[in-house]
Structure 1
């Protein structure tokens, strides 16, 4: 049974829209120094955090790819109720830091990233993109 289902099978509407809840998560991420964007459509909201890290929200729950399940050979997802937006922000910020470490070898935590800073590709003095090493071909 889902969080928003009654025992008789009828669903009740979420307390807030998916976009409102996603905005709450975006603000909590921003407070941790992680910049994200919110997009909505078809009753869902997406919080786009970084390459390979998107948090979906349907107004009742958040879910995101939290890693890779080696045993099953597929992505492993985490899910939390929207009432825990601050906890989700901490978990997503930790995943963000992990993905940055894999990509760039960074050893920083998301709290050390300045508000508004993004993980843009390196640029040379003329502002042109500098070639980056290819990302890992397997799951992250």
Structure 2
């Protein structure tokens, strides 16, 4: 098994080579690579893992995991996840050709207003 901080530093370098500046934190046998708001990559020295989306069926986060030996692949996947989160947050598009003439991406404020008016899911009643 690799030392977690060393593996996280290799991921940091791979991410920075792809244009994403990150912070690395170490402690309690884990290293964390803070990528973007809502995107942290954990490393225990054997594997990297991060939230890769949301499992609608189970109602919880879905995680991706790769061995530390696949640091370049992890960097590519994390950059793609970061771009996905930015698109959701800011209405950004990866390809300007995707925006048709006259079409505008929805503003972050409009997206926040829409989320604020969405009904909250029902919470279970009784003892859990």
Structure 1 residue 106: Cα displacement: 1.4
Q: Which runs of 4+ in 1 moved over 4 A?
A: 135-138
Counterparts of 2:40 and 2:8, CA distance in 1:
11
Counterparts of 1:39 and 1:65, CA distance in 2:
18
Structure 1 residue 108: Cα displacement: 3.2
1:67 paired with 2:25, answer no
The TM-score, its normalising length taken from structure 1, stands at 0.68
Structure 2 residue ranges without an equivalent (≥5): 96-107, 119-128
Structure 1 residue ranges without an equivalent (≥5): 1-13, 110-131
Matches for 1:1-140 after TM superposition, within 5 Å = 14=1, 16-108=2-94, 133=109, 134=112
- Coordinate RMSD, CA, aligned: 1.9
Larger Rg over CA atoms: 2
Counterparts of 2:64 and 2:8, CA distance in 1:
16
Counterparts of 1:100 and 1:67, CA distance in 2:
13
Higher helix share: 2
The TM-score, its normalising length taken from structure 2, stands at 0.74
- The answer to which structure, 1 or 2, has the higher relative contact order (CA under 8 A, 6+ apart) is 1
